[in-house]
Structure 1
């Protein structure tokens, strides 16, 4: 009886030690994956995260980081599956809900993505990116007032997001709040001067409120960056025409016509 009891204990200890060894090795593979992830070797990182999962299938962070690698590789369907597994093993993983929603947004599964963003915000109401992505989806759905509300919340939690200002500016333009849009485009440009779309949108908003000189200034910058864009010349021509610069307008209209589509 004693020998049998000791044998059972021995077997149990062996299993426990083996399981612990697996968990330890799983962490090692995970950390290797992090190194490759930071170096942007995403396929290699995926292999290490997979090894970690093979040894410890209830490892939410391994699924999460493997999913993020797949996002970088634009493998959105597969990323969604991994984010779901991360959530299965940790339902309180707010960022897994967030980035699952982002992958769904890239797949144009807008209603599903909104549900994921709401789940993320239920867990962390101050998650600025969740508000940003929710606002972006609402913008794509042409629900501009709701989008503005979400983007405003995002900015309240992180006021250094150029994309949040830019997208809110687009929504302001869609509801004909051009002066508000101009301010948002300006904020986006201040944070990220390379955001060409904000210059384009601001120039168009300036034209709407008849601030022609300001529009010309933005269009000058755009033409210096991209001299083969007919729309830039055409818009600048319209602005020059409005301030009675007929020669300048004629030159710009001619330039627009001479650019091959």
Structure 2
């Protein structure tokens, strides 16, 4: 009887440890989601990020990347509003978990801009710039939203601010064209 109990405990121990050896962590699912995101398999990426979030509901990066998967999926399906709204929801969750990451505001702002809600987009871009005022890219992104909302003077100011932060932008053809176009629209 003792021998059978011993064998049972040994086998149970192997089965128990074997199952833990193959259990995936939130980080594993997150990494798998990123791999799927990279190859544009958005549905599978969403599935992996969802599993990561189920295992760690405070995983702000998983919310953010799932939002990105929804956003990219929406772009494939001619701005699918349902996916865009899911992206906003996930970016908002990421912000609630980590309000100090400027990229989360930038990403959510991009979705608002895609939906034509320039007020909310600009608000998010302003917050991103407040958190990281030395990133010229944020000013260029905000300048596009300002331009699209008809605020040409502020758009031009943001382009000049981006050039101040990165003088190499001054020679960029697209930047120079944008400056010329904005000056024309201001007149």
Q: TM-score, structure 1 length as denominator?
A: 0.56
Distance 1:89 1:107 in 2: 25
Say whether residues 1:134 and 2:92 are aligned partners: no
Among 114, 118, 121, the alignment partner of 1:174 is: 114
Higher RCO (Cα < 8 Å, 6 or more apart): 2
Q: Does 1:89 align with 2:29?
A: no
Aligned to 2:127, what secondary structure does the other structure show? helix
CA apart distance, 1:111: 1.6
Aligned partner of 2:179 in structure 1 is: 236
Correspondence for 1:145 among 85, 101, 104: 85
Q: Aligned residue for 2:5? A: none
Gaps in structure 2 of 5+ consecutive residues: 1-16, 75-82
- Report if aligned partners of 1:101, 1:117 keep a CA contact under 8 Å in 2: yes
Question: What corresponds to 2:140 in structure 1?
Answer: 200
Shift of 1:194: 4.2
CA deviation map 1:208-227 (0-9, x unaligned) = 22222211111112334211
After TM superposition, give the deviation of residue 231 of structure 1 in Å. 2.0
Looking at CA atoms only, which structure, 1 or 2, has the larger radius of gyration?
1
Give the total of aligned pairs: 160
Distance 2:35 2:93 in 1: 22
- Closer, same or farther: CA 99–170 of 1 in aligned 2, 3 Å: same
SS of the residue aligned with 1:125?
coil
Q: Is the 8 A contact 2:136 2:163 kept in 1?
A: no
Is the 2:46–2:69 Cα contact (8 Å) retained in structure 1? yes
- Report the Cα distance in structure 2 between the residues aligned to 1:120 and 1:152, rounded to whole angstroms: 17
> How large is the Cα RMSD of the aligned pairs?
2.2
The C-alpha deviation readout for 1:25-73, integer Å capped at 9, x for no partner, is: xxxxxxxxxxxxxxxxxxxxxxxxxxxxxxxxx79xxxxxxxxxxxxxx
Conserved 8 A contact 1:139-1:147: yes
Which residue pairs with 1:191 in the alignment?
A: 131
Q: Which runs of 5+ in 1 are unaligned?
A: 1-57, 60-85, 245-261
Structure 2 CA distance for aligned equivalents of residues 195 and 222 of structure 1: 8
